[in-house]
Chains A and B, each alone.
Chain A
Amino acid sequence: MKVLKITKEDLAKGLDTLNKSFRLIGPVKDKDEEFHNFEELGQGELPDFNFRNTRLSPKSIVYPQSEKMFEYTLDSNDPEHDILIEVKKEPSPQVVVGIRPCDAKAFSLVKLNFDTPEYKDPYWLRRFEATTLLGLACHNPCSSCFCASAGSGPFNTESLDMLLVEEQGGYLAQVLTKKGEELAHTAGWTDEAGSDAQKQIDTMKEAAEKRIKSQISTDNLKNKLDMEIYEEPYWEDVSFSCINCGTCTYLCPTCWCFDVQDETCGNCGIRMRNWDSCMYPLFSLHGSGHNPRGEKLHRVRQRFMHKLKYYVDKYDSGIQCVGCGRCVNHCPVNIDIRRVCELMNRSEVCPVTTE
């Protein structure tokens, strides 16, 4: 693996070059200057790296909140009336600069859902293929970050094409994939770092991981029967304060559920898909009025069971969570996935306590 040395000036110059041939997306400060989010960068505009993580996850860059799937016309004079037509629009090549390793790793977890042996989701896959991820390692994690124990980490390289590691005066850049190589070439980043660069990165990585104080244990999740966890009495307490607002699913980089809706205006219309949330009663409501997850306890349990148990069993992998901490920070009633994970993972049954 190649490690490059990029000065701050060269980074700016390179990004400017990239902006000419790619859609360049990076963290920028919100206009109220309270938080950062990923936005498309205009010509000459640079990303603002003075952030810990963005308020919203960057999942919408590959998987928009609302997306057109098909078009149709209801005009009976048109020979193709009432037939759905695929929108033939290739996604334009894009570069996400400054994505955090946890958020990049989330793409690899979500990919298992959209890219299956039987069915390929063309919308997600095409956009993912057209995307190059230029990550930014975390030196100063938030107090709610638990990435290191969630299968990710502040220097994790999964899904990334390049990883920038800030050091005095500039960056060390790990070139991780062919896409990353091409990106560095296009941007004109060619200075190879010294032979001890990788060692330097490893030292910084270790230091960053030590700074993450918050952790979860997931070692018992796989061994337990799903019905054993499902029937635990603590779900009553866990879900008690939930208001089913859906903020957790909206912010989560690994929540992927969607709804499909048709929208007609006059004789023309589109079939589109929109993010959906298992926190809403409508998500599982039958036409008959019966609802298999009619109570909020069912829905809260569903979300945690999906992330921490069903996913683990289905893909024989780690949890469907990268430890970004967004749901912990923004839950209006302070439901904390770390605490729920602890309950689900504990090996012996003890009296229910939620403090």
Chain B
Amino acid sequence: MHNPYLPYPVRISDIITETEDRNLKTFEYVFINPEDEEKFDYQPGQFAELSIAGKGEIPIGIASSPVEKGFLKFTVNKVGLVSTHLHNMKVGDVMGVRGPLGNWYPWDKMEGKNVVIIGGGFAFTTLRSSIVYMLANREKFKEIHVIYGARTPGMLLYVDELKEWEKRDDIHMHITVDATDDPDWKYNTGFVPTITDQKAPPATTDTYAIVCGPPIMIKFTQPVLDKLKYKHDHIIMSLENRMKCGIGICGHCNIGRHLVCKDGPVFTLDQLNKMPKEY
């Protein structure tokens, strides 16, 4: 019987410190057994459990994209026991990855449609995966907008890629920071909801918004999307809850009858409106 709790052994192949506060690092992994990579067949929006022997497991969104082969990438905020230990690990160290887990953004529904990505802070990881995926399959989508904000320029993730995407004419980038005194900052200044109000395209039946960010950003972005007349089944969100098994068995992450790990993490706002606010 296949054991769904058993992680694939992986080796850390690269570590990038993403932000000026040094609390966010991106870890790149390679599979120790090459055949495991084929089994790890994922979609943008899914997550995995990062497993460290002796410490435990943490559920983290997959930041790499299925169109990138040979490695997996996860950006991890230093918060608790496992993430703190992970931040002290080095390139070459061995650990485990278990997944892919959960559902994903509705790529079949979004094919041939406009996609507006709205992200804030370090919740940009699976959004990065999505952007890389959409750019590699550019003909499958109509207009792509990205509104992404952080507190300061130094808190933005994947800065080099953001700059590259800014230069392209097949994706509308709206990068913003809450505030900065950096004279070289040439992008937007203002909170994500404000920039959404100014830059997001108006709602159509062919336009989907993917919203991912801290609760405060989500709280103030929703009225803006309502004002722009986005239908709640066209607003897609990704949730987090405390998890253990990641496969819908241990019971930790439920919201009503739904389990964030297995029925989510991706839900439409329409679905969330009918669920308890237990996230």
Which residues of A pack against B, CB within 8 Å? 69-70, 72, 74, 81-84, 86, 113-114, 116, 118-122, 125-126, 226-227, 230, 256-262, 264, 269, 271, 273, 276, 278, 283-288, 290, 292-293, 298, 302, 305-306, 309-311, 313-314
Contact = CB atoms under 8 A, between A and B. Distances in A.
B252 A257 contact: yes
Contacts of B51: 84
Given A70-B6, A82-B95, A288-B79, A116 B53 contact: no
B2 A120 contact: yes
Interface string B5-30: 11101000000000000000000000
B54 A264 contact: yes
Given A120-B4, A260-B57, A261-B56, A284 B95 contact: no
A10 B4 CA distance: 44
B53 A74 contact: yes
Interface residues of B, number: 46
Given A276-B244, A311-B257, 7 more contacts: A74-B54, A118-B248, A118-B262, A257-B250, A259-B250, A260-B5, A261-B56
A72 B83 contact: no
Interface of B: 1-7, 9, 32, 51-57, 79-80, 83, 93-96, 215, 240-242, 244-245, 247-252, 254-257, 262, 274-279
A149 B245 CA distance: 33
Contacts of B3: 86, 122
Given A284-B241, A310-B256, A125 B54 contact: no
B268 to A, nearest CB: 16
Contacts, number: 127
Q: Is the interface of B mostly helix, strand, loop or mixed?
A: loop
Given A260-B57, A286-B241, A288-B79, A86 B6 contact: yes
Contacts of A260: 5, 56-57, 244-245, 250
Given A70-B6, A227-B276, A283 B252 contact: yes
A125 B1 CA distance: 9
Closest 6 CB pairs of A and B: A257-B251, A287-B79, A72-B53, A310-B257, A82-B94, A292-B278
B27 to A, nearest CB: 15
B246 to A, nearest CB: 10
B241 A82 contact: no
Contacts of B94: 81-83
A126 B3 CA distance: 11
B249 A119 contact: yes
Contact of A119 (B4, B251, B252): B4
B54 A269 contact: yes
A306 B54 contact: no
30 contacts: A69-B5, A82-B9, A82-B93, A83-B9, A83-B53, A83-B94, A84-B7, A84-B9, A84-B51, A86-B3, A119-B247, A119-B248, A120-B1, A120-B4, A121-B4, A122-B2, A227-B275, A227-B276, A258-B245, A260-B56, A260-B245, A262-B53, A271-B56, A273-B244, A284-B241, A284-B242, A287-B79, A292-B255, A310-B257, A313-B257
Contacts of A257: 250-252
A292 B57 CA distance: 20
A278 B96 CA distance: 28
A309 B257 CA distance: 8
Contacts of B251: 113, 256-258, 276, 278
A118 B278 contact: no
Nearest to B77: A287
B83 A287 contact: yes
Nearest to B7: A84
A253 to B, nearest CB: 15
Contacts of A258: 244-245, 250-251
A285 B241 CA distance: 8
A84 B250 contact: no
B217 to A, nearest CB: 14
A271 B157 CA distance: 33
B254 A306 contact: yes
A68 to B, nearest CB: 12
A109 to B, nearest CB: 14
A262 B55 contact: yes
A282 to B, nearest CB: 8
Nearest to B245: A260
A261 B2 CA distance: 21
Contacts of B2: 120, 122
Nearest to B259: A314
Contacts of B252: 257, 259, 276, 283-284
B250 A276 contact: yes
